[in-house]
Amino acid sequence: MSKIASIPTRSVPLERTRNIGIAAHIDAGKTTLTERILFYTGMIHRIGEVHDGATTTDHMEQERERGITITSAAVTCSWDQRVEEGISKLYSGQNQRINIIDTPGHVDFTAEVERSLRVLDGAIVVFCGVAGVQPQSETVWRQANKYQVPRLVFVNKMDRVGADFNNVVREVSEKLGARAVRILIPIGSEESLRGQIDVLNQRAVLYTEDDLVGSTYQIAVLDDDQRALAEEAYAELLEAVADADEKVGEMFLMEEPISVADLKAGLRRATIKNALVPIAGGSAFKNKGVQPLLDAVVDYLPSPLDVPAAEGLNTKDESQSVSVETSDSEKFCALAFKLWSDKYFGKLVFFRVYSGTVSKGDMIYNPRTNQKERVGRLIQVQADKHEEIETCFAGDIAALVGPKNIQTGDTLSHQQAGILLEPPLFPEPVISMAVEPRTKADSDKMSVGLDRLSDEDPTFVVRQDEETGQTIIAGMGELHLEVIIDRLKREFNVQANVGKPQIAYRETITTPAKGDGKFIRDAALGGKAMYGHVIVSVSPNERGMGIEIEHSVSASDIPKEYLPAIISGIEDATTNGQVAGFPVVDLKVNVCGGSFHEVDSNDNAFKIAAIFAMKEAFKAAGAILLEPVMNVEIATPDEFQGDIMGDLNRRRGQIQEIETKGPIANVSAIVPLAEMFGYSTDVRTLSSGRASYTMEPSSFEEVPRNIVDQLIAERGGGY
C-alpha cells in the first residue's frame, strides 16, 4: 500500500466532491436530466435523447432499443458555479467534482438502485410534474431512507400538459412524509414555462427561446405576482430552516438578522441531516432549470466529509463496530458495489473508497475470502467510456479491472484495516423459468454467460433442478428475465430455449404442531446399524421473518454433537413443503426431545430422523400455499377506467384506490403475480395503447383452494 508520506495529490479537495444518484419512477426523466447535466458541465458536446437511443448513460443496446435504464451508469463531471452579482452561493467560482450514478426506474432492476444508494452521499429524486409521486417513487424514497441519503427533489416535465408543481410538493409531504421546501419555483407551466423563481435570492432565472440548448439564461427582477409568490415561499423556507436547524433557529428566536448566506448554510445542514428536502421545478427535456439545480447540488448535498463515517464490523471480533474516517491519510477501505462485464476490459469491479487511497500496483485485501490481490489497472468510468487513472482517493467512485473472486458487497481494504463494511441487501427473486441451450455448442457458453450475469446481478439466481436436470433462472420480473436472455444472445452468442415463467410460490404453517421422527436400521438387514430419534415442535412465525431454529432438548436425551446434523435435517425438510412441494418459510422450530443409542447413533441417522419429524409436524400444522402479490398502478385515460378495473377483478385483483388527475385516472390494486403474465400487451389492447402501468412486489398471501388444487394437479398430484 502507499505510504502516508507519499500520498499523491488529489485534483479536487474532498469538500468540493459530491457523490450523487439520480433516481425515480420509470419515465420521470432521470436519464434526460443526466444527459443535460453532462452537457452543461462540458462532459459531452451534443445532447442525446432517450427516444433517439443516443444518451450517454444508457449505453447498452437493450437500453437504447427500449428507452429505459437497465443498469446503473457512473459518470464524473466538473461544475463551476458562476459568480453573479447579487446572487448568494456557498461555493461560487470553485471547481466542483460531481460523481453521478443514473439508476433504473423499472422495479425489475431495483437492485441497481439499492446498491447505488448504499454508496452515495446524496441523491436527486426526480418526479414527473404531471404524475407526481408514483409507487416506484415511494420505493426509491424508502430505499433512500434506509441508507439515510440526503435528497433534493426535481419536479421534471413542467412543460407537459397537466403539470402542477404545487400538487407534487403537497404529495411529497403527504405520501412520503418529507418536509419539502421550495427553492426554485417554475415560472409558468406547460407551453408557457420560461424560467424559475430563485426563492433564496428573490430573483427570476429566465431562459430565451432562441437558445435551443438552454446554455444561456438571464437574471431578472420579479414582477408583482412573482414577488408575492417568492416572498411567501421565502417566509415558509425561513420558518422551516429555523425549526430544523439549531443555529438559524436561535437567530430567529433572538430576532437577529438572518442573511441569505446564513439561511443557505442552515438549509444545507438541515438537508444533510434529512430534516428538510429542497424542491425545484423545471424541464430537463426543454433545457430549463438544470444549471440552478446543479448549483443546488453543490450548495445543499453533502461532500463525503459531511456524512456520518461508514460503519463496519471488526474482522477480529464481529461483535464490535468500527468507524471508517473519510481521509486520504487513513488505511485504504472501500466497498465493491457492482460487477460488470465490459467488452474491452473484461471483468470490472466498481467500488466506493471510504478511506485512504489505492494506486496501481498496491495490494488489496478481501476479508470475506481472506485473500490479497495486486491492483492491475484502475479506471474512471464515463458511462461506456473509460479513462485510466493512477490513484483513487477517499470519496471516489472508480472501477478495478480484472480482479478475481470479488462479489457484490465485498470489502476491499488494506490488510491491517481490520474492517468489514455492511453490504447492500437485495430482495429475493419472485419469478423463474427453465432455460436450455439449443445446441451442444451453446451449452458451455450458456454456463459461462449465466455465471457471469449472476455475478453482476445479485437478484438474478441460477440453479439446477435436481429432479429434471434443467437449468432454472430466477429474477425480479418478466422484463428482468427477458433482458437476461437477450444479453445471453448478444453478449455471449448463446441461442437458448426458455420455458414458461414460473411463480416463486412458498409454503407456511398456520397452527403449532409436533413431529416425532425415528430412523432405525438393523444391522441384520445389511450395512451398519443406525439409530436416531428427534422430536420437534413447530409454530407459525411472523410473515417475512423466515425460519428460526432453537433447541430445548437436554444433553442426556440427545448429545450436543448431534445438533448440527439435526439442524441440517430441519433445513433440508423446509426445501419441500407438504402442500405442493414448494419451500417452507416463516416458521419457528424447537428441537424439544428425542433419544440416542451409544453405539448405533451417528450424524446421518439424526439428520434423517429430523427430516421425518419435520414432515410429520408439517402434516399436522395446517400447511398453506403462499403466492407473491404485487402492487400494481395503472395510469389510464378516464374512458378506459371501467374496462381496466373489470380486467383487474378477473385477475383476482383488489382495487385499493382510484385517484383522478385531470383526464387521467390512477388505479392502484394488489394483484397476484401469477395473473399478471402478458399484462403489458393486454393493458395496451384495453386502452388503445394509451394506458401504462407499473408493478412491484408487495407481499406473500395465501393461495385460494381452487388454485392450490390446480397447481397440485400440474405438479403431478402433490407431495
CATH of residue 538's domain is 3.30.230.10
Same structural domain, 321 and 359: yes
Taking every pair of C-alpha atoms in the chain, what is the biggest distance, in angstroms?
Answer: 103
**Helix, strand, coil shares, percent, the chain, to 5:** 30, 30, 40
C-alpha distances out from residue 702 to 212, 264, 428, 717, Å: 56, 52, 18, 20
Question: At 693, phi and psi to the nearest 5?
Answer: -145, 160
Number of neighbouring beta carbons within 10 Å of residue 218: 10
Instruction: Return the HEC string of 443-484.
Output: HHHHHHHHHHHHHHCCCCEEEECCCCCCEEEEECCHHHHHHH
Q: pTM score > 0.85 for this model?
A: no
CATH classification at residue 245: 3.40.50.300
E runs forming strands in 315-377: 321-324, 333-342, 346-355, 358-359, 363-366, 371-374
Residue 426 lies inside a defined structural domain of this protein: no
Same structural domain, 617 and 632: no
Contacts of 682 by beta carbon, 8 Å cutoff, 6+ apart: 647
Same structural domain, 365 and 321: yes
Same structural domain, 665 and 562: no
Whether the Cβ atoms of residue 104 and residue 70 lie closer than 8 Å to each other: yes
Question: At 380, phi and psi to the nearest 5?
Answer: -95, 125
Residue 637 lies inside a defined structural domain of this protein: yes
Q: Which residues in the chain land under pLDDT 50?
A: 1-5, 49-72, 85-86, 105-106, 718-719
Secondary element (H or E) of residue 233: helix 224-244
Same structural domain, 159 and 243: yes
For residues 106 and 175, what is the distance between their CA atoms, to the nearest angstrom?
Answer: 20
For residues 120 and 100, what is the distance between their CA atoms, to the nearest angstrom?
Answer: 9
Residue 9 lies inside a defined structural domain of this protein: no
Give the per-residue pLDDT at 154.
Answer: 96
Closest CA to 105 of 143, 76, 75: 143
Same structural domain, 400 and 445: no
Number of domains within the chain: 5
CATH classification at residue 407: 2.40.30.10
Give the per-residue pLDDT at 127.
Answer: 92
Residue 2 lies inside a defined structural domain of this protein: no
Residue that finishes a domain, picked among 394, 421, 448: 421
Residue 502 lies inside a defined structural domain of this protein: no
Residue 585 lies inside a defined structural domain of this protein: yes
For residues 149 and 143, what is the distance between their CA atoms, to the nearest angstrom?
Answer: 9
Number of neighbouring beta carbons within 10 Å of residue 53: 14
Give the per-residue pLDDT at 93.
Answer: 53
For residues 541 and 171, what is the distance between their CA atoms, to the nearest angstrom?
Answer: 36
Three-state secondary-structure class, residue 73 = strand
Contacts of 404 by beta carbon, 8 Å cutoff, 6+ apart: 373
Which cell numbers hold the place of 529? 446399524
Range(s) of the domain holding residue 462:
431-483
Residue 496 lies inside a defined structural domain of this protein: no
**Eight-class DSSP state of 322:** E
Residue 5 lies inside a defined structural domain of this protein: no
Which cell numbers hold the place of 235? 417566509
For residues 419 and 109, what is the distance between their CA atoms, to the nearest angstrom?
Answer: 30
Alpha helices in 245-390 (DSSP H): 246-253, 260-272, 290-300
Same structural domain, 258 and 321: no
Same structural domain, 338 and 284: no
For residues 536 and 509, what is the distance between their CA atoms, to the nearest angstrom?
Answer: 14
For residues 371 and 366, what is the distance between their CA atoms, to the nearest angstrom?
Answer: 6
C-alpha distances out from residue 565 to 420, 558, 590, 609, Å: 30, 11, 14, 10
Same structural domain, 91 and 222: yes
Query: Could you tell me whether strands 203-207 and 217-220 are parallel, antiparallel, or unpaired per DSSP bridges?
Result: antiparallel
**Eight-class DSSP state of 559:** -
Three-state secondary-structure class, residue 531 = strand
Three-state secondary-structure class, residue 603 = helix
Same structural domain, 403 and 366: yes
Closest CA to 142 of 670, 478, 631, 578: 631
Question: What angle do helix axes 290-300 and 260-272 make, rounded to 10 degrees?
Answer: 70
For residues 378 and 682, what is the distance between their CA atoms, to the nearest angstrom?
Answer: 48
CATH classification at residue 449: 3.30.70.870
Same structural domain, 408 and 359: yes
Check the CA dihedral 86-87-90-95 and report its sign. negative
Residue that finishes a domain, picked among 372, 402, 421: 421
Same structural domain, 22 and 110: yes
CATH classification at residue 659: 3.30.70.240
Residue that finishes a domain, picked among 375, 399, 421: 421
For residues 574 and 687, what is the distance between their CA atoms, to the nearest angstrom?
Answer: 44
